[in-house]
Amino acid sequence: MALQMFGFSQTLRTPTHFVFLLVIGEFLILFPTITFKILIHFFPFIEKFMQPISICYCSATILHLIVGVYIGQERVVRRLTIKSSKLKDTTSIVQLSDLHVGSLPPSILVDVVTKVNELEPDFVFITGDLVDSHQIVRDSMPSPGSKCLDPTNPFYPLVQLNAKYGTFFVMGNHDVMSGRDSVAEILSACPNITTLVNDFVDVQLKSGAQVRVIGIEDGSTSYFQQMVTELEPRLAEKRPADFTVLLHHRPAVRVWRKAMEMLGCDLFLAGHTHAGQIKVFSELVKLAFDGPVWVKLLRKRRISRYSEERLTNLDEPFMYTNPGTGMFGTAIRSSKKNEITLFRVNPLPET
């Protein structure tokens, strides 16, 4: 029961998850130990306070885990209102990311689909890491020739996702590592989901406006740039869309603006980072994906760093990084809550 409460019963299913927990455990033990040793070397008088310090640290760690379990059970809808002169009617977009089906109980996917359907979105975008491991993919392969998943399949709730203009998916690193062809085969049995592999689709809205959805599967920064370069001439042959969304699993921080300019994009949606998932890792993730601290102090904050719920004009390109709708490894989360992101793109009032 205790293992199940902490999500460990699911976590220990694969060696990868076991290593993940081992790394967290070693970090929580070794980091303070080394820090204390260094402090004692320079300030010997601290040694007599080691016992109360250790008790406080252990208590704080246990409290952190308890709070993490509580936060991990929550799944919130973050509502972001943005404005654009390119759309004449309000358009709603739901972004899901990093569901990691197979890592945590199947009921989580049912809960996510229920919440999304209640929002009645125009579009649903899933920005990668839908699956967690080879094992869940092997166990979930549809029957040959099957046009729809069996109701007992762990991915079956996805068939019930409702979006007025469709649901679109791009591969994340876990999807690629678990077998991109197998993942694509599973999703091919979800008739409501379109998988975009370095491709795009144009969707005509009821208002007559055209929304272009571009999907680039996960890869290195150089791979991403290469795919952007290959897509650019293909898009040049098409009539420019009224509004363009770029989907890619990793927030390509150093090249996202250039990519959006080349492809004529308005909104870049990404995931992957989990916002660190565990609080002690969140700052490391910020450094890895958002640059050194001193750079952040000098530049304007990007949309992925906003705490505001209301954003401004979307007539210049923006990127949003979803902190994860699900979790990887274990059901403990203390950086940010699991998030379903709802964007409402409102037209700018005529002047």
Residues 96-118: tens digit of each pLDDT = 998 988 877 778 899 999 999 99
pLDDT at res. 191: 92
State the pTM of this model: 0.78
pLDDT digits (tens, 9 = 90+) for 264-286: 999 999 988 876 666 666 656 66
The residue type found at 25 is: G
Mean pLDDT calculated for residue range 189-205: 95
pLDDT at res. 245: 95
What six digits make up the tokens of 67? 């709070």
Residue 249 CA to residue 131 CA, distance in Å, equals 13
**Residue 104 DSSP symbol:** B
Widest CA span in the chain: 74
pLDDT at residue 19 above 70?
no
pLDDT at residue 290 above 60?
no
CB-side exposure of 275: number of CA atoms within 13 Å? Answer: 20
pLDDT at res. 262: 92
Provide the 3-class DSSP secondary structure of residue 117: helix
pLDDT at res. 287: 60
Q: 11-15, 26-30, 93-97: which has the minimum mean pLDDT?
A: 11-15
List phi, psi (to 5°) of 247. -110, 125
Residue 190 CA to residue 217 CA, distance in Å, equals 19
- Sorted by where each starts, the structural domains of the chain and their CATH numbers stand as 2-71 (no CATH), 76-347 (3.60.21)
pLDDT at res. 85: 86
**Residue 74 DSSP symbol:** -
**pLDDT > 90: percent of the chain:** 35
pLDDT digits (tens, 9 = 90+) for 1-12: 333 334 444 444
